[in-house]
């Protein structure tokens, strides 16, 4: 019985070491940035008509993902700059005109700065927007996103269109 107990203890110890190794191999900051971008993509997506309450809630949630003086270049040469409130209002104005929108993140590479309060990521997205029943846009676009960590949260400071992948 003591051999069985020793074997169980050794197996448990090895499993604990493996779990610890994998835990410390995960870059939690990169993971938080990827999670934040995924949340932004989910907030932008739309399938059919949405209530005013849901539109306002999504607008508020989206605006909380950006810094105070964010700049977003959503298409080459088309940018918006302002604080979270202005960004939320702009999102509402556009989102209420869209019948449906889908965003698929095809690739997301993250590079943390040495100081860790800033990062940049290169993202390739496949987007499709339908206005008034017509396929208004369907394209793959690359963005360079600059992030800042404020109060423990990674927020988007600037989005720049890089071009087609």
Edge-first strand order for the sheet with 134-150 is 46-47, 100-112, 118-131, 134-150, 153-163, 66-75, 78-82
CB-facing half-sphere around the CA of 75: CA atoms within 13 A: 7
Q: What is the bridge-based pairing of β-strands 100-112 and 134-150? A: unpaired
User: Which of 62-66, 120-124, 138-142 is the least confident region?
Assistant: 138-142
Provide the total of helices (H) and of strands (E) in the chain, helices listed first.
4, 7
Instruction: Give tens-digit pLDDT for 66-112.
Output: 999 999 987 778 888 888 888 888 888 888 888 899 999 999 999 99
Of the two residues 148 and 78, the one the predictor is more confident about is 148
The topology under which CATH files domain 27-163 is Nuclear Transport Factor 2; Chain: A, (3.10.450)
pLDDT the model gives residue 60:
93
Residue 7 is encoded by which pair of tokens?
């074997």
Confidence check: pLDDT of 59 > 60: yes
Query: Which DSSP category does 64 fall into?
Result: T
d(CA 139, CA 75): 11
SS3 17: helix
**Confidence category of residue 122, pLDDT binned at 50, 70, 90:** very high
Domain boundaries, the chain: 27-163
pTM of the model: 0.79
Instruction: Give tens-digit pLDDT for 8-45.
Output: 667 556 565 554 555 555 578 899 999 999 999 999 99
């Amino acid at each position: 019985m003591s051999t069985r107990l020793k074997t169980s203890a050794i197996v448990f110890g090895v499993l604990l070491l493996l779990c610890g190794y994998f835990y410390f191999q995960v870059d939690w900051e990169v993971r938080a940035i990827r999670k934040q971008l995924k949340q932004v993509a989910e907030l932008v997506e739309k399938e059919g008509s949405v209530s005013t309450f849901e539109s306002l809630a999504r607008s508020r949630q989206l605006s909380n993902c950006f810094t105070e003086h964010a700049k977003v270049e959503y298409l080459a040469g088309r940018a918006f700059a302002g604080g979270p409130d202005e960004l939320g209002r702009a999102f509402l104005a556009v989102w209420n005109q869209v019948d449906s929108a889908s965003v698929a993140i095809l690739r997301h590479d993250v590079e943390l700065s040495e100081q860790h309060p800033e990062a940049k990521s290169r993202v390739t997205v496949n987007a499709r927007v339908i206005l008034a029943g017509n396929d208004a846009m369907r394209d793959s676009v690359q963005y360079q996103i600059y992030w800042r960590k404020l109060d423990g949260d990674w927020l988007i400071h600037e989005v720049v269109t890089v071009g087609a992948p």
